[in-house]
Amino acid sequence: MERIVKKIRQEAKEKIERIKNKEELEKVRIEFLGRKRGKITELLKNITTLPLQERPFAGRLANEIKREIQQLLDKKRKEISSEEEVEERVDVTFPGRKPRIGKLHPLTQTTEKIKRIFVSMGFRVVRGPEIETEYYNFEALNMPRYHPARNEYDSFYLNKGYLLRSHTSPVQIRVMEKESPPIRIIVPGRVYRRDAIDASHFPMFHQVEGLAVDEKVTFSDLKGVLSSFAYQMFGKTTRLRFRPSFFPFTEPSLDLDIQCVICQGKGCKTCGRKGWLEILGAGMVDPEVFKKVGYEPEKYQGFAFGMGVERICMLKYGVDDIRLFFQNDLRFLNQF
Ligand SMILES: [Zn+2]
| Residues in Cβ contact with 286 at an 8 Å cutoff, skipping those fewer than 6 apart | 142, 248, 249, 250, 251
How many domains are contained in the chain? 2
101 falls within a domain: no
Q: What is the pTM of this model?
A: 0.69
**CA–CA separation, 189 vs 195, rounded Å?**
18
Contacts of 260 (CB under 8 A, 6+ apart): 266, 267, 268, 270, 271, 274, 275, 276, 277
The last residue of one of the domains, among 38, 62, 88, is 88
Tell me the per-residue pLDDT of 151-171, one tens digit each, with 9 for 90 and over: 777 888 898 889 999 999 999
Same domain, 70 and 23: yes
Quick check: is 63 in a domain? Answer: yes
pLDDT at 168: 94
Distance 277 CA to ligand 1 centre (A): 8
Instruction: For residues 123 and 59, state if they share a domain.
Output: no
Q: Tell me, in angstroms, the distance from the centre of ligand 1 to residue 265's CA.
A: 6
In a domain, 177, yes or no: yes
CA of 196 to the centre of ligand 1 (A): 25
Residues 239 and 322 in one domain: yes
Alpha carbon of 312 to ligand 1 centroid (Å): 15
- What is the C-alpha separation between 208 and 319, in angstroms, rounded? 19
Are 21 and 157 in a shared domain?
A: no
Give me ligand 1 centre to Cα 118, in Å: 27
Residues 133 and 217 in one domain: yes
The pLDDT value given to residue 20: 85
Expressed in angstroms and rounded, the spacing between residue 239 Cα and the centre of ligand 1 is 13
| Inside any domain, residue 41 | yes
28-79 pLDDT, tens digit each = 888 888 888 888 888 888 888 888 888 888 888 888 888 888 888 888 888 8
Which domain covers residue 286, as residue numbers? 106-333
Rounded to 5 degrees, what are φ and ψ at 247? -135, 145
Q: Is residue 261 part of a domain?
A: yes
Specify whether 229 is located in the same domain as 289.
yes
For residue 309, report the distance from its CA to the centre of ligand 1, in Å. Answer: 19
Q: Which residues surround ligand 1, an ion (CB under 5 A)?
A: 260, 262-263, 268, 270-271
- Residues 178, 72 share a domain: no
State whether 131 and 203 are in the same domain. Answer: yes
Q: Which residues of the chain have pLDDT under 70?
A: 86-88
**CATH number, position 112:** 3.30.930.10
Longest dimension (CA), the chain: 127
